């Protein structure tokens, strides 16, 4: 299967190599994990914390260096919430002492809030995502069946520079997995993009709103079982266009690298239904106090399946209110991260991730890139980092193909929205 995916006549240029790195006993344990997650019930409500929370808190306070250095709380709500900036400042202090380092995976996130991160993970943690994706699919009556010799999942990107690879999924009988970039530069011929998708016939296609907007422009005939939108908020209009074009379920997943797949939008329920029974969700007000069900505040997480990064009152920066969908908690009115595109000087749209790549080599703790309606760019940097402004401007002008760029001082210390634009169409990929 690997050879077929790599060497098909219409295959893209795969620029990287990646694999599951799982051991035989881990594969067997993951099968059991998928079964458990598929049928697990939530034992908490918006008004009643889970029974496991006290043990989780005790374990984190004992094993995680960051929390050992904090005053011991008398109650759960006395624990000072943390945010992405805390993780970015020293991620190693959030890794439990008990985690073996030999097989730890560190991966860099692009960041949408001014704090690109290097996050700790593990092959087992990466493989656990599938269990929660299957739970989301099962909610809509979809069971995955592709196995050996077939492509199970195709991951889409649409960036000037993208991590692309092929692999297999052991818990799905070695079914194929491919991450491809729909940007024309990654293909021998632009028409190969549709040909490759049609030939591989993935059971599920996953991407973000920007890559799905690009998919809509291709003459793809294949009809997958489902489309999974992750990373960014999916507009109702784009969701409807995808469903009409491909004749399948389009799942809008609320997901983040710090926590994995958190919830899936269910129109009948009226919100994003939670997917992780082992993740406790609070909604906090501006003063950090928990809000009652139905009131909108900042989504805050405790728990999770990443044993390399157990979360404890982690403020996500996203907003919503808690409610119940039957006996399962859900988030209503979710205001998550929105896709933002930037217009180059030659009137081409590029992904905000391309700007992240352009600035990645600079030691910037945070920044804001704003495009004005006339196309010019304002880059905001912390005052102490304005010494990097000239190089940052040069890099942005290259990726934006000559757009004017100016740098100013970033005001305030609060969490920022990293990518913003006043250009019409920047937040809404073509539908």
C-alpha dist (Å) from residue 296 to 208, 287, 353: 25, 13, 29
415: pLDDT strictly greater than 90: no
Using alpha carbons only, give the angle 93, 94, 97 rounded to the nearest 5 degrees: 80
Q: Looking at residues 322-348, what average pLDDT do you find?
A: 90
Task: Give the total number of structural domains in the chain.
Answer: 2
Whether residues 300 and 388 share a domain: the answer is no
In terms of domains, do 262 and 286 share one? Answer: yes
Please give the DSSP secondary-structure letter assigned to residue 135: H
Do residues 365 and 359 make contact, with C-beta atoms less than 8 angstroms apart? no
- Among 335, 355, 375, residue at a domain's last position: 335
3 state SS of 167: strand
The two three-digit tokens of residue 277, written as one number? 């029974």
Q: Which residues contact 381 (CB under 8 A, 6 or more apart)?
A: 364, 367, 388, 389, 392, 407, 408, 409, 410
The domain containing residue 67 runs over which residues? 2-335
Check whether 338 has a pLDDT greater than 70: no
Indicate if 294 and 158 belong to the same structural domain: yes
Under DSSP, the state recorded for 234 is: P
> If pLDDT is split at 50, 70 and 90, which confidence band does 31 have?
very high
Whether 430 and 404 have beta carbons less than 8 Å apart is answered as no
Q: Report the pLDDT value the prediction gives residue 430, as an integer from 0 to 100.
A: 41
Asked whether residue 428 is assigned to any structural domain, the reply reads no
Return the H-helix or E-strand segment holding 237: helix 236-246
Would residue 43 count as lying in a domain?
A: yes
Torsion angle of alpha carbons 295, 331, 234, 33, nearest 10°? 160
Dist. CA 338–CA 359, nearest whole Å: 20
Whether 430 is in a domain gets the answer no
User: What is the structure's pLDDT at 431?
Assistant: 40
Q: Which residues lie closer than 8 Å to 393 by C-beta, 6 or more apart?
A: 379, 405, 406, 407
| Between 236 and 429, the higher pLDDT residue | 236
If asked whether residues 202 and 314 sit together in one domain, one would say: yes
- Mean pLDDT along residues 344-366: 84
DSSP 298-364: EEEEEE-S-TTS-EEEEEEEEEEEEEEETTEEEEEEEE-PPP-EEE-TTS-EEEHHHHHHHHTTS--
* Both structure tokens of 238: 């784009």
Chain centroid to CA 265: 15
Residue 251's DSSP bridge partners are 228
The answer on 378 and 258 residing in a single domain is: no
Comparing 84 with 261, the larger pLDDT belongs to 261
Do 94 and 128 lie in one domain? The reply is yes
Distance CA 165, CA 243 (A): 27
The pLDDT, as a whole number, for residue 141 is: 97
pLDDT band at 414 (very low <50, low <70, confident <90, very high): very low
Sequence-ordered list of residues with C-beta below 8 angstroms from that of 295, at least 6 positions apart, any chain? 283, 285, 321
Give the largest CA-CA distance in the chain.
63
Last residue of a domain, one of 335, 359, 392: 335
Task: Give yes or no for a contact between 45 and 73, defined as CB atoms under 8 angstroms apart.
Answer: no
This prediction's pTM: 0.82
Phi, psi dihedrals of residue 198, rounded to the nearest 5° = -65, -35
| Residue indicated by tokens 């306070």 | 61
Same domain, 112 and 206: yes
CA neighbor of 204 nearest in space, from 169, 244, 153? 153
Q: What is the CATH number of the domain that holds 157?
A: 3.40.50.12780
Specify whether the CB–CB gap between 349 and 342 falls below 8 A.
yes
Give the pLDDT of residue 110.
Answer: 60
User: Which of 314, 335, 356 is the endpoint of a domain?
Assistant: 335
Stretch 140-153: mean pLDDT = 97
Q: What are the E-state strand segments in 118-277?
A: 118-121, 151-157, 165-169, 175-181, 204-207, 226-229, 249-256, 260-266, 271-274
Tell me how far apart the alpha carbons of residues 25 and 255 are, in angstroms, rounded to a whole number. 28
Do 265 and 410 have their domain in common? no
Q: Is residue 151 part of a domain?
A: yes
Same domain, 13 and 81: yes
Query: Is residue 279 over pLDDT 60?
Result: yes
Does 429 map to a domain? Answer: no
């Amino acid at each position: 299967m690997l050879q077929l995916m790599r060497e098909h006549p219409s295959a893209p240029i795969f620029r990287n190599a990646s694999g599951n790195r799982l051991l035989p006993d881990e594969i067997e344990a993951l099968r059991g994990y998928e079964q458990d997650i598929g049928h697990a019930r939530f034992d908490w409500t918006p008004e009643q914390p889970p029974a496991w929370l006290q043990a989780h808190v005790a374990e984190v306070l004992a094993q995680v260096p960051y929390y050992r250095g904090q005053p011991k709380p008398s109650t759960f709500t006395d624990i000072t919430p943390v945010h992405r900036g805390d993780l970015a400042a020293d991620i190693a202090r959030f890794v439990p002492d008990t985690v073996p380092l030999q097989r730890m995976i560190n991966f860099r996130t692009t960041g949408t809030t001014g704090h690109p991160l290097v996050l700790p993970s593990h092959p087992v943690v990466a493989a656990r995502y599938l269990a929660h994706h299957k739970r989301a699919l099962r909610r809509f009556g979809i069971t995955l069946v592709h196995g050996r010799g077939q492509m199970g999942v195709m991951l889409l990107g649409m960036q000037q520079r993208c991590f692309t690879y092929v692999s297999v999924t052991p818990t799905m009988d070695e079914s194929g997995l491919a991450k491809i970039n729909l940007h024309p530069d990654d293909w021998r011929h632009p028409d190969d993009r549709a040909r490759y998708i049609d030939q591989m016939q993935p059971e599920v296609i996953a991407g973000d709103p920007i890559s799905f907007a690009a998919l809509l422009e291709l003459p793809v005939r294949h009809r997958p079982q489902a489309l999974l939108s992750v990373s960014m908020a999916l507009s109702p209009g784009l969701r409807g266009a995808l469903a009409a074009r491909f004749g399948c379920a389009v799942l809008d997943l609320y997901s983040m690298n710090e926590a994995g797949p958190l919830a899936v939008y269910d129109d009948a329920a009226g919100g994003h239904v939670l997917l992780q029974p082992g993740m406790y969700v609070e909604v906090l007000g501006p003063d950090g106090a928990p809000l009652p069900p139905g009131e909108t505040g900042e989504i805050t997480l405790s728990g999770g399946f990443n044993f390399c990064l157990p979360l404890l009152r982690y403020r996500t920066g996203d907003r919503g209110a808690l409610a119940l969908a039957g006996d399962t908690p859900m988030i209503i009115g979710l205001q998550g991260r929105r896709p933002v595109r930037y217009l180059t000087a030659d009137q081409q749209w590029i992904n905000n991730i391309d700007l992240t790549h352009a600035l990645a080599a600079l030691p910037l703790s945070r920044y804001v890139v704003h495009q004005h309606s006339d196309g010019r760019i304002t880059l905001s940097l912390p005052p102490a980092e304005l010494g990097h402004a000239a190089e940052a401007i040069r890099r942005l002008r290259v990726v934006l193909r000559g757009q004017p760029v100016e740098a100013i001082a970033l005001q305030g210390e609060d969490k920022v929205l990293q990518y913003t634009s006043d250009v019409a169409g920047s937040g809404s990929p073509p539908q």
